[in-house]
Structure 1
Amino acid sequence: MSIVVGYVPTAEGAAALDRAIIEAQRNQSRLVIINSSRGDALVDKRYVPAEDLAAVTERLEREGVEHLVLQPVRGHDAANEVLDAAEKYRADLIVIGLRKRTPVGKLIMGSTAQQILLEASCPVLAVKAGT
């Protein structure tokens, strides 16, 4: 059994990671963490720096969670990276963080969460920060 979590260094990303760890411990599952970048910008605030990723890895090891951390930079959007990982690692669950967006923001930028929810072939657990 495996669980895929889309992780970005935000409150929503932290909430998703926290819940994914709980689910991985509960189900004795491997946790596959996806933190991706399209690679089309000099600085991508969603791409976790190595020292921060090391802290995440240390936490997972301390909590006894089998894990795999992936940081693909292949020109794909985050939703496709999460969906591809879920298929590749035969995920039983995907965990994502949600943030509030305006209707206009969704129209112009699309919604990573919406794409994952609609296209995933396994259950998706969507969590909000602070809940």
Structure 2
Amino acid sequence: MIRKPMVYALLYVSQSNLDGPGGLGAVKDMVAAARLRNASLGVTGALIFAESHFVQVLEGSREAVDELMRSIERDARHRDVRIVREGAVAARRFSGWSLAYAGPPALLGTLLLPDREQDGEWADRLIATMIRFAAAA
């Protein structure tokens, strides 16, 4: 019996170092570059940028996701990068996206408050929201 390899998934939150009117342009450039890099590494996922924070789900091989996380942790556009959840999942949730993206959504901003990051239900709700976003985009 051939076993399908499990997909490694990681959800992180970081604070944004991007300020002012140039911030959104910098995020759009970052998204364009990330889509190409993610595709080359076989990584799928979704990103939400809510002005003060980034939230991203990455899914793919453990090696590819780890490589991207090392890059994100060194990226000057991020600070206080915190992994909220990681581990194997049965299937990709963003299979059609090298990177689905949503800009500064006012309602999601409250979901990104740092004191909620330890709440497992919060992570479940956030991932479900990102899946719905990716399906509608």
Same-fold call, TM > 0.5? Answer: no
TM class, shorter-length: 0.3 to 0.5
TM-score normalised by structure 2 residue count: 0.32
TM-score normalised by structure 1 residue count: 0.33
Query: Higher strand share goes to which structure?
Result: 2
